[in-house]
Each structure stands twice: as C-alpha cells, then as structure tokens.
Amino acid sequence: MLSYRTVYDSDGFIPSVDVLDDIQCRRLKENFDSLEKDAGKQASQYSFHNIHLAHQWVLQIASHPNILKPVKDILGSNVMLLDSRFICKYPESDSGVQAFVAWHQDMKYWGIEGTVVTAWLAVDDSDVKNGCLQVIPGTHKNGLVQHETCKVGGNLLSSNQSIPLEFVDLTSVRACPLKAGQMSLHDGLLIHGSEPNTSSKRRCGFVIRYVATDAKPIQDPDRPRTFPCTVLLSGKDEYGNFEDNKPEWFRELN
C-alpha cells in the first residue's frame, strides 16, 4: 500500500480517508446543527471561521488522531493548525442562490511560504448532486496560475477569485465524494472547486488547514495577513513563526 505522502506528492490530494466512527459522526452533526439553528442558514453557509478556539468540540475534531496521522505523514511530526472553517452549501430552494466554489488555488490568497495541507471533513454526505469537492490531479506541481475576479454570482470564496477556464483542464476533473465522517486532503496549490447543490439536502463540510512549523507568513504590505487562531497540535515549534493559541483545557488534555 502506498504511503499518504507518496500519493499526496503524486496527485496533490488524497480521497476518502475514514476519520469518525458512527457515534462521533452523529455528535459532530448534532453540534453543527445546533450552531445552524442559533445562527440561521445564511450565517451558517460561510461565517463559522476559526471557531475552534471558542468551541471545545471543534478543536477536538481538528486535532483528531485519524486526521493528524496522514497530515503528519505529509508534513512531518511538527504540525500547526493554521485555520478552520465550516462551509455549508444549501439547496437553491433554501438559499435562493446557486452557491458554488469557483476553480482556485488556496495558496493564491493564503500568504504562506511552505506546504499547506487542507483537510475537508464531511459533516454530511457529500456527492456530485449536492456539490462535492472537485479536483484536477497533479496541478499542484505547476505553481500558481492566473486568478481573476469571478464574473458569476454565487461564488462562496470570500476573495471572489476564480481561475479563468482557459487555464482549467475540464477533461481531467475528478469528483471527491465523501460519506459523513470521511475526509479528503489536498495541497494548497491544487486547482479545485465545487458545483452548486442541485439536490434537496444540505452539504456541510469542515475545512481545516495545517502547516509544518517551519512554514511562515509572507509579508505583503499590499495585503497584510494575520493568523490569530493558530494552535500547535503535534511535536515542537522551534521556529516561532506562528503563535500557539492553545486553550488551557487543551494543554491539560495533551
């Protein structure tokens, strides 16, 4: 069996990794459903950003051993949680718009020097009909490509960026369906996106980004970036490029 690192280096992504058991999966869904009920669907779509410091259950998921095992295989033993976000894509009948995620590369706007590994953990079943993640394997090897302002409404990316279709090989697109409790991993340079939800069911995912401790923020005066919610999850940080914002309860458990 090939190692996670071998597959990741070759394709830029790893599909269908089992993370949560049935009980953990149900608990995650119940916790998110509670957030959704309190905040409403519009806020739940893209507003739950870096809430892992405010909610114990969120950081417990982000530090789950079944996520960290392949992440450490790729990045090494010294791993920092960079960022997290819940992304909900509702049926058009619920949201009033055909929400989608345009073709893009995470590294275009993250401002990080080093490898960024993104975990996409399915809170709900994610399939082609409700707009699962789609990737173009191997594109992480080609560096950054041109991005522009998206010309179509409904793009969930906060930067509203999009890669022009002339730079996207649509014949190589691969869908990444997941069952609730499974995750995929993808590289920060991999071209990826997702189509609108044309089903009658919600598609919710927890997106978590990890870096090795030797990664560092890029200083760009035209677009200053801060990373106020970083947490050291594994190993040691000998570089100090990011703060360890580990909550006290997490320190006690670890």
CATH number for position 89: 2.60.120.620
Which among 186, 6, 173, 54 has a CA at the least distance from the CA of 110?
186
Whole-number Å distance between alpha carbons of 98 and 198: 8
Against a cut of 0.85, is the pTM above it? yes
Backbone φ and ψ for 148, nearest 5 degrees, come out as: -145, 170
Residues 6+ apart with CB under 8 A from 108: 144, 147, 159, 161
Q: What count of residues does the chain have? A: 254
**What are the pLDDT digits (tens) for 54-106?**
999 999 999 999 999 999 999 999 999 999 999 999 987 665 567 888 888 88
Cα separation of the two ends of the chain: 31
Total count of domains within the chain: 1
The residue ranking higher by pLDDT, 154 or 145, is 145
- pLDDT of 254 reads 67
Q: 60 is in which domain, residue-wise?
A: 4-253
The lowest-confidence range among 5-14, 101-110, 111-120, 192-201 is 101-110
List 83's β-bridge partners, or say none.
209
